[in-house]
Chain A
Amino acid sequence: MSLSLAKRCCEAPLTRRVLQFKMFRRRIQSCNLSYTVWRHRWMKKLPVVTNSSRRMSSHQDKDTVDLSKFPVDRIRNFCIIAHIDHGKSTLADRLLEITGAIAKTEKNKQVLDKLQVERERGITVKAQTASLFYSHQGEQHLLNLIDTPGHVDFSYEVSRSISACQGVLLIIDANQGIQAQTVANFYLAFEAQLTIIPVVNKIDLKNADPERVESQIEKVFDIPREECIRISAKLGTNVEKVLQAVVERIPPPVASTEDPFKALVFDSNFDHYRGVVANIAVFGGRVRKGDKIVSAHLGKTYEVNELGLLRPDEHPTQKLFAGQVGYIIAGMKDVKEAQIGDTLYLQEQPVEALPGFKPAKAMVFAGMYPMDQSEYPGLRSAIERLTLNDSSVTVQRDSSLALGAGWRLGFLGLLHMEVFNQRLEQEYNASVIVTAPTVPYKAVLSSAKLIKEHGSEEITIVNPAQFPERSVVSEYLEPMVLGTILAPDSYTGKIMSLCLNRRAVQKNMVYIDDQRVMMKYLFPLNEIVVDFYDLLKSLSSGYASFDYENAGYQAADLIKMDILLNGRPVEELTTVVHRQRAYSTGKAMCERLKDSIPRQMFEIAVQAAIGSKVIARETIKAYRKNVLAKCYGGDITRKMKLLKKQAEGKKKMRRIGNVEVPKDAFISVLKRKEK
C-alpha cells in the first residue's frame, strides 16, 4: 500500500511542489526564524488514497448520519496514550471494529497507523481521528477517537490531540508495567485536566501481572486501582467495557449549538486536488456547506466546500455541530492558511479566538547531504515532499566543503529524526549522509553593537560557525531536558553512573513497586542526543525505558573547538562543546580521523584545539614504503584498476593544506554512529 502511495506521490505534478518548496524556503530565510514552525501537519501522506473496502462499508450509512441527532451530551472526545508497544493501536482497531467503523477481519492491524515506519516500528507518528457510533443504554453516542503518537518527541502532537479531548485512555502493558512514556503522557493529560481511564492491556500474556501494574498505577499516578480496566485488545476481552467507561466517565465537551460557530484547527493536511483539509473540533454553534468562514489568525474568508466526519476515512456530512470533531475543506490553497491552533468562525459572527498552540521548536539538528552531489535534486524533492507532510521539521539550506550542498534540518527530538530519516529512505528511496545531531545553544550578548546587529540580547546558535566569541558574550546557555528513567532496581547503580557521566543532576528517585525504580534527572540535551538511549538500553539489558521533556535553558561553560590537520583548521569539523567534555570529544574526533585518513607521504598531525591551545593530538605516520614489490607476470590489470580507482578518488578528496582527506573521513567523524 505504501508503495503505491509513494508512486502516486511521484506522479503528481512536480512543478507545483517545487514552487511550494521554494516559497517555504524563502519564508524561512526572510524571517530568519528557522526554529519557528508556522504550519504543523503530522499528517498521513495522501489522505485521498484509502482502502476501498473500508470506504465501501462507510458508504452504506453515509446518508443516514444526521449529526444533529447528537446533542453535546451524547458526544465524547477521547484519545489513547501509551508507551510504545503497549497496544494502543491494537485497541484502536478493536474499537473501530466494535462500533462498525471498519469491518471485522483478521487484517485489521494498526488501521490508524498508515505509514510504513509506523507499522514497522509499532509506533504512531501521525495522529488520526475516527468518529465512532456507539449505542449505550439505548442511546446512540458519537465517540471521537483521536489516535496519538506514543513518544514524547511527538508530544506536541499529543497535546494537540489532547486539546480536542475531554478524556484519555491510558494503556499500560500488564507485563511491562509503567514505562517512561507512560509517565510523560500521563502528565500531559493530567496537566490538561482530562479524565484519565487506566487500561491494563495484554492480560492474556503468560507473564501478565495486572495486580502489580495496578498498584504501580495507584502509587505513581494516584489513581485508585478499582478504576483500572483489564483488557486484552488482541483478543477483544473487555474492550466493550472500555467503550462503556468512555461514555460513563468522560464528560461531554462544554459546547453549545446555540453559541456562534467557533472551531479549533487541531490538525491539517494537504491534498493536491482539494487543497487544505483541516481537522477541526467544533467548540460552539454549527457549520454547514456553503458557509462563509474566517480564519482568526489571517482574517481571511473562505467558503466551506465540504465537511464531514473521519471514520477514519473522510465521510462527508451536511453539517458539523458543537462538540463534534471532523474535517473541513474550504478552498485554502496553502497549509499556512490552516494553522494549527487557529480559530475559525462565521463571517457574520466574529468570536474571540481560542488560545492557540505554542509552535513546536526544533530541539535536535542534523545535517543531511546526498551521498553524491548528483543526487541533490532527488533528495531535495524528497525532503520537500516529506516536510509537506511533516511541517515540524525545519529546513535550512547548508553546504559543507566536504559533503557538498545539503540541508540542516531541525527535529523535535531523536525519534522524530530517526523516523524522518527512515521515511526518507523507505518512501523516497533516498540515500543520505546524516551528520551527528547537535542542539541549539544560546548566547547572551554583552556587546551593544552585536545586540543591535542581531536585534536581541539573546541569540540562538545552530551552526558552530556562528558561535560568538567569549569576549562579546556574558553567558552561554544550553538546552536542558528532564529525563525520566524506569528500570528494575538492580540496574540503578549502572544507570546512575551513566547519568553522572552525562553531566546529569538527579532530581528524584522513587520505587514504583518493590522492584522497579523511577528516576528523574536533569540532563543537558546535548548529552543525550547521540548515544545515551542506546547505552542505557544495553547496560540494562533492554529493561530500562527513557523519556524526556524539554526543561528550558541553563547557563553552561561552552567553548568552540577546532580540529586541525597539520595546523590548518577543518571548517566543517568545528564543534561547540561543554568545557568538561572538550577533551573527550576532541580525543574521540582525532581518533576517528586518524583511523579514516589514509597515510600519506608525510606525517599528519590531527589536533583538537580550543583557541590556540591544543588539547588532543593523534599522529598519522608518513608512509615509509608504499609500492608493490611483486612480479606481475604481465598481469597488471588488477594493479591498474586499483591505481585508477585511487586516482579517481584523489580528484574527490578535500585538501586541507597539503593533506588530502577523503569524504569518508568526514562521514565517519560527522556521521551518527550506526547502532
Chain B
Amino acid sequence: MIKLTCRAAGRVLCPGLRCFSGGEVTEHASGWIQSPHLTEQASLYVHWPYCLRRCSYCNFNKYIPKKNNDHIMTKCLQWETDTLLQLSQVSCITSVFFGGGTPSLTHPSTIAAILETLSKRMSLSDEAEITLEVNPTPAGMSKLDDFVRAGVNRFSIGVQDEDLKSLGRDHSSQEALKTIEEARRLCPGRVSVDIMFGRPKQTVESWEKELSELLRICDDHVSLYQLTLERGTQLFKQVQCGEVTVPAEDVTAEMYQCARKTLQQHGFLQYEVSNFARHNSVSHHNMSYWRGKQYIGVGPGAHGRFVPLGEGGVFREARTQTLEPDVWIREVQQRGHGTRRRIQLSRLELLQEVLVMGMRKTRGISHKHWELFSPEMGLCEIFGASMDVQQLVQSGQLILDDRGLCCSWDGLALLDSILPTLLVELERQILQKPHRDHSVFTDGQTKKTSNPQ
C-alpha cells in the first residue's frame, strides 16, 4: 500500500525533476553533480579554539591559551575566511555561527572583523542569522552589547552544570540568569539556551526540576545535549576508575523522554533530535546542516562540506582544518588557509550524509528535498521495497508516505538503531543501479591530500 502511494508520489514529482535536470546540470560530465542551488550558497562556521578552563567532559578542539594572541588569531580567521569563500565561489552566506572553544572570550572587534571580511566578498543580508556561543561569565555578559553591535543577532548560551543545579540561588547561577536576561533584551526571540543532561549524580527528578527552572527564564529556543563520555576526557577517566558515576542508559532515556514531553507542554516544538523552538525560532544555521547544505568551516579543527568551485572542483568535499591553533596559524600565514584534509564525497557518501543528517529532523526528508541530491532515485524507490524498512514502518518507528521519510515520535529516540538499516538499503540500491555516468565517477573514490597546494 505504502509502496503504491509512494510510486504515485514519485510520478507526480517527476516533472519537477525533469525541468530541474533540463538545466545546466546535465551538461556536466556527471549528472549527479549538485544543482547550482546547492553550490551557490553556504553557511559559515568559525571556530574560536580557546577556553578559560577545561570542562571535564569536553573533547572538542579547545586550548587554554598561554599568551594572548587574539590579534594574530583574528587576522588568520579573516584570512582563511577570505581564502575559503573564494575557493567555494558562493554568492551568498546564509548564516554564520561562532563556536568554540569559548568564542565569547574574544574581543567583539574580532567578530566584527570577520563579518567585515565576509561582506567585502558578498552581500550579507540583514536577515542572515549570526550566532555567537556564549558562556555565562560577568565579563562575557558586559560584552553582549558590543557583540550585537559587531553584527551578532543570535546568542546560544551554554548553561554550565553547576549553574543548573542551583539555578538562581548562588553567585555563578545569578550570572547565568543575568546573561540570559541580557541576551534576551538584546536579541528578543533569538536566544538559545543549551543544557546538558546525563551528568554525574543527576536523577530524573533533579533533571525535571532543572528543566522547570529553565523554562521560567529561557527564550524561544532550547538545545538538549546528552553528556557523552568521550575518550581522553577527565570525566572518562574518573568514570573508568569508579570515582564518578553517570546515570545509566535507562535513566538518560527517561530524562530525554521527559524533557521532550515537558518542552512540548510549554509550547516548544521539537524540530530535531536535540533542538526545540517555539514561535518559529528554529536555528537556521543548524537547520542548514541537517538539510545537507554546504558549509564552510574556518578556524582550527573546523569542518566544512562544499564544492571547491574556485579551483574547478565539481564534487563536494569533506574538509577539515588543522587542529592545533599554532600550527594552523602558521599554515594560514604561509598559504592562506589551514585545510589539513580533503576527501571527495562520492555520490553514495553524499547521499549517506544527507540521509543521516536529514533523519535527525522531526520532519525527516521530503521527497522534494531528496530529489535535490538524488534526482534519479526517489526515497520510495530506494526504501519502499525493503522488508527491513517495512518492518520499521509497521512497528511504528518510521513513516514513509507522500510527504517523505521521517521518524515517528518514538522512532526519533531510536534513530541510531534505524539508520544502519537505512544505510544498508541505500547502499544496496545505489550500487545496484549505478549512475549512468559511472565511468566518470565511481563510488568510494576518494582523494586525500595532506597539504593541498
Point out residues on A near B: beta carbons under 8 Å: 600-602, 621, 623-637, 639-640, 643-644, 646-647, 649-651, 658
Question: Which chain A residues lie closer than 8 Å to B427 at the CB level?
Answer: 647
- Take A632-B289, A634-B297 as given contacts and tell me if A640 and B303 are in contact as well, using a CB distance cutoff of 8 Å: no
Is there contact, CB below 8 Å, between B391 and A634? no
Question: Which chain B residues lie closer than 8 Å to A626 at the CB level?
Answer: 413-417
Is there contact, CB below 8 Å, between B416 and A643? yes
Question: Which chain B residues lie closer than 8 Å to A634 at the CB level?
Answer: 45, 289, 295, 297, 302-305
Bound together, the chains give a CA A625 to CA B318 distance in angstroms of 29
Comparing B108-116, B247-255, B434-442, the segment that makes contact with chain A is B247-255
The residue that A643 contacts in the complex, of B194, B253, B356, B391, with Cβ under 8 A, is B356
New A-B contacts (11) at CB < 8 Å, excluding given A627-B273, A636-B303, A639-B356: A621-B250, A624-B249, A626-B416, A633-B60, A633-B97, A633-B99, A634-B305, A635-B303, A636-B289, A637-B303, A643-B420
The residue that A631 contacts in the complex, of B274, B297, B356, B415, with Cβ under 8 A, is B274
Question: Which chain A residues lie closer than 8 Å to B297 at the CB level?
Answer: 634
Tell me whether B357 is interfacial, beta carbon within 8 Å.
yes
Is there contact, CB below 8 Å, between A647 and B318? no
Is there contact, CB below 8 Å, between B304 and A629? no
- Take A601-B397, A634-B303, A644-B352 as given contacts and tell me if A629 and B295 are in contact as well, using a CB distance cutoff of 8 Å: no
Interface residues of B in 26-58 (CB under 8 A from A): 45, 47
Is there contact, CB below 8 Å, between A624 and B274? no
Is there contact, CB below 8 Å, between B416 and A628? yes
Question: Which chain A residues lie closer than 8 Å to B256 at the CB level?
Answer: 625, 629
Is there contact, CB below 8 Å, between A630 and B228? yes
- Take A633-B45, A634-B295, A636-B303 as given contacts and tell me if A627 and B413 are in contact as well, using a CB distance cutoff of 8 Å: yes
Comparing B134-142, B218-226, B324-332, B377-385, the segment that makes contact with chain A is B218-226
Tell me, rounded to whole Å, the shortest Cβ–Cβ distance linking A246 to chain B.
Answer: 63
Question: Which chain B residues lie closer than 8 Å to A651 at the CB level?
Answer: 424
Question: Which chain B residues lie closer than 8 Å to A643 at the CB level?
Answer: 352, 356, 416, 419-420, 423
Question: Which chain A residues lie closer than 8 Å to B99 at the CB level?
Answer: 633
Tell me whether B238 is interfacial, beta carbon within 8 Å.
no
Interface residues of B in 242-300 (CB under 8 A from A): 249-250, 252-254, 256-257, 273-274, 286, 289, 295, 297
The residue that B353 contacts in the complex, of A633, A640, A649, with Cβ under 8 A, is A640
Tell me whether B5 is interfacial, beta carbon within 8 Å.
no
Tell me whether B144 is interfacial, beta carbon within 8 Å.
no
Mask: chain B, 422-447; 1 = CB below 8 Å from A; 0 = not: 01100100000000000000000000
- Please, which residue of chain A has its CB at the minimum distance from the CB of B397? A601
Is there contact, CB below 8 Å, between A630 and B420? no
Tell me whether B412 is interfacial, beta carbon within 8 Å.
yes
Tell me whether B421 is interfacial, beta carbon within 8 Å.
yes
Question: Which chain B residues lie closer than 8 Å to A602 at the CB level?
Answer: 395
The residue that B420 contacts in the complex, of A624, A632, A646, with Cβ under 8 A, is A646
Tell me whether B320 is interfacial, beta carbon within 8 Å.
yes
Tell me, rounded to whole Å, the shortest Cβ–Cβ distance linking A630 to chain B.
Answer: 6
- Please, which residue of chain A has its CB at the minimum distance from the CB of B224? A629
Is there contact, CB below 8 Å, between B414 and A625? yes
Bound together, the chains give a CA A658 to CA B420 distance in angstroms of 15
7 contacts between A and B (CB under 8 A): A624-B413, A627-B414, A630-B228, A631-B194, A634-B302, A634-B305, A646-B420
Question: Which chain A residues lie closer than 8 Å to B295 at the CB level?
Answer: 634
Tell me, rounded to whole Å, the shortest Cβ–Cβ distance linking A644 to chain B.
Answer: 6
Question: Which chain B residues lie closer than 8 Å to A621 at the CB level?
Answer: 250
Tell me, rounded to whole Å, the shortest Cβ–Cβ distance linking A528 to chain B.
Answer: 37
Bound together, the chains give a CA A260 to CA B72 distance in angstroms of 103
Tell me, rounded to whole Å, the shortest Cβ–Cβ distance linking B348 to chain A.
Answer: 10
The 3 closest A-B pairs by CB, nearest first: A624-B253, A625-B253, A647-B423
Tell me, rounded to whole Å, the shortest Cβ–Cβ distance linking A621 to chain B.
Answer: 8
Is there contact, CB below 8 Å, between A627 and B286? no
Tell me, rounded to whole Å, the shortest Cβ–Cβ distance linking A286 to chain B.
Answer: 73
- Take A646-B420, A647-B420 as given contacts and tell me if A624 and B254 are in contact as well, using a CB distance cutoff of 8 Å: yes
- Please, which residue of chain B has its CB at the minimum distance from the CB of A598? B417
- Please, which residue of chain B has its CB at the minimum distance from the CB of A645? B420
Question: Which chain B residues lie closer than 8 Å to A623 at the CB level?
Answer: 253, 414, 417
Bound together, the chains give a CA A651 to CA B426 distance in angstroms of 13
Bound together, the chains give a CA A425 to CA B109 distance in angstroms of 65
Bound together, the chains give a CA A627 to CA B418 distance in angstroms of 10
Tell me, rounded to whole Å, the shortest Cβ–Cβ distance linking B96 to chain A.
Answer: 13
Interface residues of B in 295-354 (CB under 8 A from A): 295, 297, 302-305, 318, 320, 352-353
Tell me, rounded to whole Å, the shortest Cβ–Cβ distance linking A412 to chain B.
Answer: 45
Bound together, the chains give a CA A601 to CA B414 distance in angstroms of 7
Question: Which chain A residues lie closer than 8 Å to B273 at the CB level?
Answer: 627-629
Question: Which chain B residues lie closer than 8 Å to A632 at the CB level?
Answer: 289
Bound together, the chains give a CA A601 to CA B397 distance in angstroms of 9
Tell me, rounded to whole Å, the shortest Cβ–Cβ distance linking B121 to chain A.
Answer: 20
- Please, which residue of chain A has its CB at the minimum distance from the CB of B413? A625
Tell me, rounded to whole Å, the shortest Cβ–Cβ distance linking B90 to chain A.
Answer: 15
Tell me, rounded to whole Å, the shortest Cβ–Cβ distance linking A655 to chain B.
Answer: 10
- Please, which residue of chain B has its CB at the minimum distance from the CB of A630? B225
- Please, which residue of chain B has its CB at the minimum distance from the CB of A624? B253
Question: Which chain A residues lie closer than 8 Å to B223 at the CB level?
Answer: 631
Question: Which chain A residues lie closer than 8 Å to B226 at the CB level?
Answer: 628-630
Is there contact, CB below 8 Å, between A636 and B274? no
Interface residues of B in 60-117 (CB under 8 A from A): 60, 97, 99
Tell me, rounded to whole Å, the shortest Cβ–Cβ distance linking A660 to chain B.
Answer: 10
Bound together, the chains give a CA A649 to CA B424 distance in angstroms of 10
Question: Which chain A residues lie closer than 8 Å to B357 at the CB level?
Answer: 636
- Please, which residue of chain A has its CB at the minimum distance from the CB of B254? A624
- Please, which residue of chain B has its CB at the minimum distance from the CB of A633? B99
Is there contact, CB below 8 Å, between A637 and B318? yes
Bound together, the chains give a CA A247 to CA B320 distance in angstroms of 82
Question: Which chain B residues lie closer than 8 Å to A658 at the CB level?
Answer: 391
Bound together, the chains give a CA A643 to CA B250 distance in angstroms of 22
Bound together, the chains give a CA A629 to CA B275 distance in angstroms of 9
- Please, which residue of chain A has its CB at the minimum distance from the CB of B250? A624
Question: Which chain A residues lie closer than 8 Å to B412 at the CB level?
Answer: 627
Is there contact, CB below 8 Å, between A647 and B413? no
Pick the most buried of A624, A637, A649: most chain B CB atoms within 10 A of its CB: A624
Bound together, the chains give a CA A633 to CA B158 distance in angstroms of 14
The residue that A650 contacts in the complex, of B250, B257, B421, with Cβ under 8 A, is B421
- Take A626-B415, A637-B318 as given contacts and tell me if A601 and B395 are in contact as well, using a CB distance cutoff of 8 Å: yes
Tell me, rounded to whole Å, the shortest Cβ–Cβ distance linking A657 to chain B.
Answer: 11
Question: Which chain A residues lie closer than 8 Å to B416 at the CB level?
Answer: 626-628, 643
Tell me, rounded to whole Å, the shortest Cβ–Cβ distance linking B164 to chain A.
Answer: 16
Tell me, rounded to whole Å, the shortest Cβ–Cβ distance linking B434 to chain A.
Answer: 19
Tell me, rounded to whole Å, the shortest Cβ–Cβ distance linking B403 to chain A.
Answer: 21
Tell me, rounded to whole Å, the shortest Cβ–Cβ distance linking B432 to chain A.
Answer: 14
Tell me, rounded to whole Å, the shortest Cβ–Cβ distance linking B381 to chain A.
Answer: 19
Tell me, rounded to whole Å, the shortest Cβ–Cβ distance linking B382 to chain A.
Answer: 14
Question: Which chain A residues lie closer than 8 Å to B289 at the CB level?
Answer: 632, 634, 636
Bound together, the chains give a CA A646 to CA B228 distance in angstroms of 19
Tell me, rounded to whole Å, the shortest Cβ–Cβ distance linking B289 to chain A.
Answer: 6
Tell me, rounded to whole Å, the shortest Cβ–Cβ distance linking B270 to chain A.
Answer: 11
Is there contact, CB below 8 Å, between B417 and A601? yes
- Please, which residue of chain A has its CB at the minimum distance from the CB of B425? A647
Is there contact, CB below 8 Å, between A633 and B419? no
Tell me, rounded to whole Å, the shortest Cβ–Cβ distance linking B111 to chain A.
Answer: 17
Tell me, rounded to whole Å, the shortest Cβ–Cβ distance linking A649 to chain B.
Answer: 8
Is there contact, CB below 8 Å, between B352 and A640? yes
Bound together, the chains give a CA A650 to CA B388 distance in angstroms of 11
Bound together, the chains give a CA A646 to CA B424 distance in angstroms of 9
Question: Which chain B residues lie closer than 8 Å to A639 at the CB level?
Answer: 356
- Please, which residue of chain B has its CB at the minimum distance from the CB of A627? B415
Tell me, rounded to whole Å, the shortest Cβ–Cβ distance linking A494 to chain B.
Answer: 31
Question: Which chain A residues lie closer than 8 Å to B303 at the CB level?
Answer: 633-637
Tell me, rounded to whole Å, the shortest Cβ–Cβ distance linking A74 to chain B.
Answer: 73
- Take A601-B414, A634-B303 as given contacts and tell me if A629 and B274 are in contact as well, using a CB distance cutoff of 8 Å: yes
Interface residues of B in 104-161 (CB under 8 A from A): none
The residue that A630 contacts in the complex, of B253, B274, B352, B423, with Cβ under 8 A, is B274
Is there contact, CB below 8 Å, between B228 and A628? yes
